[in-house]
Amino acid sequence: MIACFDIGGSAIKGAIAYSPEDIRPVPKVATPLHDFDAFAGVIQKIAADGGADPQSLIAISIAGVVDADTGRITCANIPCVHQRRLEADLSEKLQRRVLIANDADCFALSEAVVGAGRGHRVVFGIILGTGVGGGIVIDGKIHEGAGGFAGEWGHGPVAATLAGNPPVAIPRFPCGCGQIGCVDAIGAARGMEKLHAHLHGVNLPSTDIIAAWDRGDAAAERTIDCYIDIVSGPLAMTLNVVGASIVPVGGGLANSVNLIRRLDEAVRARILRKTDKPLVIPGELKIEPGLIGAGVLGLMEAAK
């Protein structure tokens, strides 16, 4: 068994993993944001309370990017770990081996091993939620790439400035990464809301926009038409490069089966490899896919 964790800016979720199919969550704890000793202590206590061996490996999924060359993590929403060599620092503090992986990578790994990507050699798991992210799994292993940024298709100044039918001008919205015109700035839930406000002058939550679209509302249909046009092009180009045969989708927007179905149709119309089979699909693991991915990652490493 190993202890595994999914760590975000608000909570640390833990579990004890016995196998990829047997991962047992334990109660979550608020994330200590400014005290590294407290952060490490919470991880140690959760593992101990769950019955993990004191010497067993710990695997962590975290909302940050780990540079494989330097070991440093970029995780601005948890200041006490930001720019630390987190694997090394936690290993030293806890006196046990620690593995750290990006949460989108862990989502992709969980879907590849026990979810919608089973049986596929190349799986590109994507996130459409608070942000737009992704992870690549090849032959059951996370492909991190240089700097740990492989799969981050949401960033880069490539978003269309004309979209929809008939076409309408779309601003190049600023992105949290510091660039302008990223897919993330439109494709995330807040981006959909900005798009709707630009088109119609009305501020609505993304959930309300999608609900209105499902009811046949014309304004919401216009927003979704533009949204799909903007998001599907960069995703199709990414798939041409990556060569994935399945794209499980996680994040809040993946809760709309109709939205993902429409995105799938648009992407399959734009990729070079033509197929009648669904390619972009909702992820199968609706509960704690990041935690499951961390468990899978740790169990695979412990079995070596």
List the pLDDT tens digit at each of the 304 positions of the chain: 899 999 998 999 999 999 988 999 999 999 999 999 999 999 999 999 998 888 889 999 998 888 888 889 999 889 999 999 999 999 999 999 999 999 999 999 999 999 999 999 999 999 999 899 999 999 999 998 888 889 999 999 999 999 999 999 999 999 988 999 999 999 999 999 999 999 999 999 999 999 999 999 999 999 999 999 999 999 999 999 999 999 999 999 999 999 999 999 999 999 999 999 999 999 999 889 999 999 999 999 988 8
H-assigned helices in the chain: 36-49, 86-94, 103-114, 184-187, 189-200, 206-214, 218-242, 257-270, 289-302
Q: Of 3.90.230.10, 1.10.150.120, 3.30.420.40, 3.20.20.70, which CATH number belongs to 2-106+287-302?
A: 3.30.420.40
Q: Which residues of 258-287 are buried (b: 16+ CB within 10 A; e: fewer)?
A: ebbebbbebbbeebeeeeeeebbbbbebee
Phi-psi region of 289 (alpha: psi -120 to 50; beta: other; left: phi over 0): alpha
Of the candidates 166, 174, 231, the residue with the CA atom closest to the CA atom of residue 199: 166
Residue 113: name the closest of 281, 248, 268 by CA. 248
> Which of these, 108, 118, 102, 20, lies nearest to 64 by C-alpha position?
102
How many residues comprise the chain? 304
CA pair distance 31, 5, nearest whole angstrom: 12
Q: How many CA atoms within 13 Å lie on the side-chain side of 78?
A: 25
Instruction: For residue 14, give the amino acid letter.
Output: G
DSSP class of residue 147 equals G
Domain boundaries for CATH 3.30.420.40 within the chain? 2-106+287-302, 118-282
Give domain 118-282's CATH number out of 3.30.499.10, 3.10.310.30, 3.30.1600.10, 3.30.420.40: 3.30.420.40
DSSP one-letter code for 246: B
On the CB side of 205, how many CA atoms lie within 13 Å of its CA? 7
Terminal-residue alpha carbon distance, the chain: 14
Residue 98 structure tokens: 């620690």
Beta bridge partners of 247: 280
Label residues 169-193 b or e (16+ Cβ within 10 Å = b): ebeebebeeeeebbbbbbbbbbbbb
Determine the Cα–Cα distance for residues 127 and 107; give it in Å rounded to an integer: 9
pLDDT at residue 202, as a whole number: 97
CB 152 within 8 A of CB 63: no
What does 33-45 look like in DSSP terms, one character per residue? Answer: SS-HHHHHHHHHH
State the pairing for strand pair 280-282/247-250.
parallel
- Check: CB of residue 51 under 8 Å from CB of residue 90: no
